[in-house]
Chain A
């Protein structure tokens, strides 16, 4: 690849680029989808290409192609420079990048069992067994199960001498049971509606034990059809990790992206209430128990890598420490504007997309003391909410509303009857300030989503979230008319 990256960088420089970088990406994907016990789709995909990003006259240009040839490198680099010059015609402040040492080296996701080397029949068989077990439960209307694996080989080179090579592997799987009666449609997913995803090999899929969890979740889906509706009012809620990671994602992950703060996502995803004055003042984001980090070095996280797509080394950045807002996810362009160095958060969805500030692994750190079971036992009256079903948050990331697949009543420190269609809503900082318990390390798990959308053209990112479960007081639950 070095001949192609050298050629692209040389061409860009010769045409006037003050800085250029080139990423060559090859992506291999495999997926299995099963519906109601039949193998609905088995697919494999391969994509490769390269993108060239240039700075000319202080303005950005980017172009890409699927053709890996030296001629195309010349053409794409030339187009990127031309585009940058067009950008410069509507520019008010020239882009400047922070300093960083040239990035050089290799990184590879630790994998015990290569998911692409496991026979396809074996993977289909594992998934089929779980799906059919769920479907065998009386009252199930249909089941859906999925398996996916992705490996990305990425070469990054820049005019400052950087040259890195990475191979990143992610896998995920889920089994989902649906029960329908009249207008009521209830679903239980394990471990998550979008699949339990992580960085690693097929050993992660085995660890999920889809087969061992399928029947119980299907039985819950059927039971939800006749369960009472979640009531409306203020309640204490305990969020299971399967919901808490979504709460972290939407209400802390996105608002701490510095490009949102500076408005570059304003027309699409929105901006952020965590404006730079709040960083200076030490804004109280949550209770003293709340410490959240963006950690690209966390083992097993889908936001774990060696270097980001600007060649900045993986690192852990404090976002909220002991409840106080202390930092942003940032890039080489944005970090200097708040007097800091890049936190290494720039990632692109493939060769044909420009890197944006994306979450790495946004983790709510566990708190010594109570386990998640202890927190339930310590709760006299409340709701235990599990598995996200729906999510929504305003364009500054303040007013959120979530639905989960199921709620368990907590009475006298014990989990009781189930409730259907649970929802809860709040204002981000009020909610996190009302957090009065965070689980200890015994329930800390690395979860995440392979579908975090951002940017125009839209990009989908794989991001991780380490969480252990937490409790929140005086939360509005049961939203809307039912």
Chain B
């Protein structure tokens, strides 16, 4: 069975074909001795146009499909995956899965595959899908890139970045009755503009509908910042109040999701999250919502379970974490729909986080800094102490000294070693505007933040 990629404009037809393939694989598995079986079919048409030095230097497209088969014999669970969907490929897939299942030990706490009650719809909703993105052409992306480059040219700087358009689908069928599918589209345009005098500036937009991205505006934002950050001054490391732009706030949300908002992290004792614990100021509320159109929605997880809206932090206090089927079984509750493809030793993740907007306009965020730093984005961040959420990283592409509520000078980049929990606790103001940004794992919708203290621990030469 083959899923045709030609008809990109009908997500319903694609999902139906993917579900039929998943059904077929489940039937083959059951006929081969499985007592439970689950087939996950993922498909993708992805294209990306990359530019540097104000010219396109990479331009790629791919059509891909993947099948994951979870094959259970009692409490023995095995997973096999393939990119081959021809008859021979599927036969080999089931044979490998069955052979593996015979070789593994029983899982004492195996909770079984999720049942139909928690499953998402078999016909995908229109949330998160735009035909304009699915049909985006190389010429469309080149047009966007030329608009970004034109803004760079106008400012006398060079542009480096990428414009990606993707259609992706997941379909899940299992022997417990789940038949769920979702199709979505995503697009992302990002650019770093660089000037000959050492200035760099970043801007990014992500959207379901690529035609809503204003490429020229992204180009102008980056260009202005590149010009403003020329000839930076050196500041000594130390504690400074900061305003973090949305691009930097994304890293905090992403990292906390990775380190703590997962049921597995809680069950293993390595998470900071516990219900009722205050981890942030009253201004901070974070939810995960795979159906919120403000983000890049995906309404089901990789087990076919409908994603629930989960409040992670409400007015600074931990509320809940996200579950997949296995962690939910251990906790004696239902999955929240945050499972990843099996086998998954990493546990569930929140992939659609949103931070509530505040009431403070951007100029007032900066205006409230007596002496501090405005940070555009972070670079190469990594946890130093996961349970305390101590993270190190660098500033990048637009760091500025603010005095008396005004930007007074660009600053050379600084290294920080900072607890992100302490940072949340120190939030003094939240921006009223939010941006949708792709993260390391998923996407997030975040406002800018003003934070009372941020610990910078090193400097560099640019």
Contact = CB atoms under 8 A, between A and B. Distances in A.
A390 B57 contact: no
Residue among A31, A45, A92, A262 having the largest count of chain B Cβ atoms under 10 Å: A45
Contacts of A35: 345
A51 B388 CA distance: 44
B201 to A, nearest CB: 11
A178 B268 CA distance: 10
Given A38-B108, A63-B60, A90-B142, A392 B392 contact: yes
B282 interface: no
Contacts of B384: 389-390, 401, 403, 421, 423, 480
A270 B146 contact: no
A48 interface: yes
A288 interface: no
B172 to A, nearest CB: 17
A154 interface: no
Interface string A32-60: 01010011111111111101000000011
Contact of A399 (B81, B138, B190, B415): B415
Interface string A364-404: 00000000000000000000000001111111101101010
B302 to A, nearest CB: 14
Contact of B393 (A44, A392, A398): A392
- Chain A: interface residue count, which band? 35 or more
Contact of A61 (B59, B65, B158): B59
B103 A395 contact: no
A83 B47 CA distance: 10
A129 interface: no
Nearest to A75: B63
Interface in B48-63: 48-63
Nearest to B346: A33
A352 interface: yes
B80 A44 contact: yes
B35 interface: no
B64 A49 contact: yes
Interface of B: 2, 46-66, 78-84, 89, 92-93, 96-97, 99-100, 103-105, 107-108, 137-139, 141-142, 145-146, 149, 158, 160-162, 164, 190-192, 194, 268-270, 272, 342-345, 379-388, 390, 392-394, 396, 413, 415, 417-418, 455, 457-462
Given A43-B79, A46-B81, A425-B458, 10 more contacts: A39-B104, A40-B345, A46-B82, A46-B83, A64-B64, A66-B83, A91-B55, A141-B269, A185-B386, A263-B53
For the complex of A and B, 7 pairs with smallest distance between CB atoms: A41-B343, A480-B417, A86-B138, A399-B460, A45-B81, A266-B160, A47-B83
Interface of A: 31, 33, 35, 38-49, 51, 59-67, 79-80, 82-84, 86-87, 89-93, 119-121, 124, 128, 141-142, 144, 146, 178, 180, 183-185, 262-268, 270, 273, 352-354, 389-396, 398-399, 401, 403, 421, 423, 425, 427, 456-457, 476, 479-482
